[in-house]
Amino acid sequence: MQILDIFINQMGVKDFLDIFIVAVLLYQLLRIVHGTRALQMLLGIAFLVILFLLGQYYKLYSLSWILTHFFDSFFLIFIILFQDQIRSALASVGTGKRVFGLLQKQESDLDIEEIVEVASAMSRKRIGALMVFERKHGLFDYIASGTKMDSFIHSDLLYSIFQTKSPLHDGAVIFRNNKIAAAGCFLPLSKNVDIDRHLGTRHRAALGISEVSDAVVVTVSEETGRISLCLKGVFYPCENENHLRQYMKHLWAHEKLSAELRPLNIEGEV
């Protein structure tokens, strides 16, 4: 108790504020890497730290020399290894998403029925589709890579875009503020080496954009006609149009999912 009293007496308001800010940053870092390959890399770094301490304790000079030089450049190595996670964290702070739910942008009402209708129609005809819905992370760079449309959402228009003879069918359609912002957009492919090898470029692009942003992606497989929703690097299969409708209403209208559907990973969102 005496040590605790001394500790408290020597601590000032600035010290408590300093500890609080560092704790929040560490907590957010762990949330960002949770469930991703970045967590495995953090465990690898922790293993190197243990090796370094063992090398220092048992005077393993070669091992200590190598790890000492490694940790001398640790800051630069950290940025290179976790550049995607750092980018995502900065984007979240910029939108106010993680600052206790404050300064949060309001999501526009999405015309869900038009999306469900066209996804169902393309599924029956086995027409491949890739539809990306912007949320709080801006997708301006990807919108600029396609053909700008700025048109209202209509199932007939979307159906015509993804026809195989359409010059825009290979790219993605990106939605912003309840409008079709652009079509034929190029998306980053996922860097995850553990994903199913049978997934084609369309699904890898869906994973890629969901890994670097909070976008919701709806895909229709050209081979099987299966509809899937992708969020934060995870696919959620939709066995029928009602499943897609429930997922979309859960995200945009905050309606509850039925027990048969897999819960979405939207931890920390308000």
pLDDT in tens, 218-252: 999 999 999 999 999 899 999 999 999 999 999 99
Does residue 148 share a domain with residue 77? no
Does residue 20 share a domain with residue 120? no
Does residue 123 share a domain with residue 211? yes
Say whether pLDDT at 73 is over 80.
yes
Does residue 125 share a domain with residue 83? no
130 within a domain of the structure (yes/no): yes
Give this prediction's pTM: 0.66
Does residue 241 share a domain with residue 128? yes
For residue 206, what is the domain's CATH number? Answer: 3.40.1700.10
Does residue 214 share a domain with residue 88? no
Does residue 177 share a domain with residue 119? yes
Domain count of the chain? 2
pLDDT of residue 34: 59
H helix count then E strand count, the chain: 11, 7
Question: What does the alpha-carbon distance between residue 133 and residue 169 come to, in Å, rounded to a whole number?
Answer: 17
CA count, 13 A, side-chain hemisphere, 195: 19
Which tens digits make up the pLDDT trace of 80-122? 877 766 766 676 665 554 444 434 444 446 889 999 999 999 9
69 within a domain of the structure (yes/no): yes
269 within a domain of the structure (yes/no): no
Say whether pLDDT at 16 is over 80.
yes
Which tens digits make up the pLDDT trace of 180-194? 999 999 999 988 777
23 within a domain of the structure (yes/no): yes
pLDDT of residue 101: 43
| Kind of pairing between the strands at 129-133 and 216-220 | antiparallel
What share of the chain has pLDDT > 90, as a percent?
Answer: 49
The whole domain housing 34 covers 2-94
Does residue 149 share a domain with residue 74? no
Mean pLDDT of 54-59: 90
**Residues in Cβ contact with 268 at an 8 Å cutoff, skipping those fewer than 6 apart:** 31, 98
179 within a domain of the structure (yes/no): yes
pLDDT of residue 2: 66
**Residues in Cβ contact with 79 at an 8 Å cutoff, skipping those fewer than 6 apart:** 86
What share of the chain has pLDDT > 70, as a percent?
Answer: 82
Greatest mean pLDDT among 21-30, 34-43, 227-236 lies in 227-236
Does residue 65 share a domain with residue 184? no
Calculate the alpha carbon distances from 64 to 29, 41, 55, 102, 186 in Å.
28, 21, 5, 46, 46
Residue with tokens 């960002």: 32
265 within a domain of the structure (yes/no): no
Residue with tokens 């993804």: 162
191 within a domain of the structure (yes/no): yes
268 within a domain of the structure (yes/no): no
* Other CB atoms within 10 A of residue 108 CB: 14
Does residue 221 share a domain with residue 136? yes
Residue 195 pLDDT class (50, 70, 90 cuts): confident
Residue 140 pLDDT class (50, 70, 90 cuts): confident
Does residue 197 share a domain with residue 89? no
**Residues in Cβ contact with 119 at an 8 Å cutoff, skipping those fewer than 6 apart:** 129, 131, 218, 220, 227, 241, 244
DSSP the chain: -HHHHHHHHH--HHHHHHHHHHHHHHHHHHHHHTTSHHHHHHHHHHHHHHHHHHHHHTT-HHHHHHHHHHHHTHHHHHHHHTHHHHHHHHHHHHTTSSSTTTTPPPPPPP-HHHHHHHHHHHHHHT--EEEEE--SS--HHHHHTSEEEEEE--HHHHHHHTSTTSTTTTSEEEEETTEEEEEEE--PPP--TTS-TT--HHHHHHHHHHHHS--EEEEE-TTT--EEEEETTEEEEESSHHHHHHHHHHHHS-PPPPTTSPPP--TT--
Does residue 163 share a domain with residue 206? yes
Which tens digits make up the pLDDT trace of 245-258? 999 999 998 899 99
